[in-house]
Amino acid sequence: MNFDVQKQKRYLVDFPNGEVPVLKFSFHGGMNRLVFRCKDLWYIEVPEECQSWVCVREEEGSAGTYQVQVEVNRYEGLRLRESTVLLCCWNERIRIPLMQYPEFVPVEDPVFEAYLLRHYEGNSVGKLSQETASRITEIDLGFGSPVVSLKGIEYMPNLKVIRCGGYPLTEPNRLTELDVRYNTALTVLECGYNRLTSIKFGYHPALTQLICGHNQLTSLDVRRMPKLFRLECGFNQLTELDVRQNLNLSSMICHRNALTALDLSQNRNLGYLECQWNQLVCLDLSQNLGLTTLMCTGNRLRALDVRLNSKLTYLDCCDNPLKTLEIGQQQKLEHFFID
């Protein structure tokens, strides 16, 4: 790499795990600083379409450490304004996304807007200001919410908790899609018992809990959630699920999907697993030595080996065409179900 990008306090920009952060500017204009080391000649490209509102001071240089100012003009629009500048060195290019927020946040759903105004906004304008939106850290809509869209949360960079899920004994909540790509501070997302067909994720370095079961999801990308330890995505329409990047995963419920394979080789902290009623033909648990609960009923397993899983207290493997079952000495096993 020719670039060595650093982070220190709020003025420097970091590239964690190769992810490019977003520079965010308030509606009245603003300035941010990009600090980096470069091993050769470098320059910055600003696309023509954003040259009227983006200004980069110090556009090129030689090898060394630099601090570059990125400034934007005052903005009175109603929508998020986005662009990208390129930090270039020979054949290498690093994309730096820019976002500029409007003065007032456009919220699509009037019921959701009323919720936000009631709980967070004290002005008499009847609109959610960007200043207020930037202070919102939690949204809790409760069971049976009539909200059909959460568009507007992309203007809430400090949002940590979203609870918009329904409840088993009530009608599902009404969300059909959810976009949390810009909510990189999220730690908890509970959106189960809705009518979601898709969830758009970005890089979520702090997300620890994702509960999205009882929806209509056909895909789920959790690869860029390094701290995820609780995942509930049962009762969807998933045909594949990649959790190899989720090294901290300790509890996973993925039952009632259409999974044909499940690679758990990297999930060495996994202690609780519900994967029943899928289409799994094999299940390798040799790396999951801390597993205490395993429910794998109703799959297509012909062999199951839990000899290394000596901490098991609960095992249910009914309704499988098992030819081989290797249990070993399970001294802690209290509940065991097999037909």
Q: What is the pLDDT of residues 142-166, one digit of tens each?
A: 888 999 999 999 989 899 999 999 9
> What would the two tokens of residue 26 be?
């308030």
Q: Specify the pLDDT at position 270.
A: 98
Q: Specify the pLDDT at position 14.
A: 39
Q: Specify the pLDDT at position 7.
A: 35
* Residue among 311, 310, 281 nearest 296 (CA): 281
173-202: average pLDDT: 96
Local structure of 213: helix, strand or coil? coil
For the chain, helix, strand, coil in percent to 5 are 5, 30, 65
Q: Specify the pLDDT at position 66.
A: 81
Q: Specify the pLDDT at position 32.
A: 75
Distance between CA 32 and CA 22 in Å, rounded?
Answer: 11
**How far, in Å, are 25, 79, 87, 190, 201 from residue 107 at the CA level?**
19, 10, 34, 20, 20
Give residue-wise pLDDT tens across range 286-318: 999 999 999 999 999 999 999 999 999 999 999
Counting residues of the chain whose pLDDT is more than 70, the rounded percentage is: 88
For residue 78, is pLDDT > 50? Answer: yes
Query: Per-residue confidence at 168, pLDDT binned at 50, 70, 90?
Result: confident
Distance between CA 276 and CA 317 in Å, rounded?
Answer: 8
Structural domains present in the chain: 3-100 (2.60.40.10)
Q: Which long-range contacts (CB under 8 A, 24 or more apart) does 171-174 make?
A: 171/144, 172/214, 173/141, 173/143, 173/144, 173/145, 173/147, 174/145, 174/146, 174/147, 174/148
Query: Per-residue confidence at 101, pLDDT binned at 50, 70, 90?
Result: confident
For residue 41, is pLDDT > 90? Answer: no
Give residue-wise pLDDT tens across range 208-245: 999 999 999 999 999 999 999 999 999 999 999 999 99
85 close to 54: Cβ distance less than 8 angstroms? yes
Matching residue, tokens 């289409």: 279
The residue among 90 and 268 whose pLDDT is bigger is 268
197 close to 177: Cβ distance less than 8 angstroms? yes
Instruction: Give the distance from CA 142 to its chain's centroid.
Output: 21
Phi and psi (nearest 5°) for 93? Answer: -140, 130
For residue 67, is pLDDT > 90? Answer: no
H helices, E strands: number in the chain: 2, 23
Give residue-wise pLDDT tens across range 126-145: 889 888 998 999 999 988 89
37-44: average pLDDT: 85
The residue among 5 and 242 whose pLDDT is bigger is 242
DSSP-derived secondary structure for 13-53: ---GGGPPP-EEE-TT-EEEEEEEEESS-EEEE--GGGTTT
* Residue among 227, 235, 234 nearest 207 (CA): 227
For residue 3, is pLDDT > 80? Answer: no
Query: Per-residue confidence at 18, pLDDT binned at 50, 70, 90?
Result: very low
Q: Specify the pLDDT at position 70.
A: 81
Q: Specify the pLDDT at position 167.
A: 83
Dihedral sign of CA atoms 219, 288, 299, 211 in order: negative
The residue among 127 and 124 whose pLDDT is bigger is 127
9-27: average pLDDT: 44
For residue 45, is pLDDT > 70? Answer: yes
Q: Specify the pLDDT at position 124.
A: 61
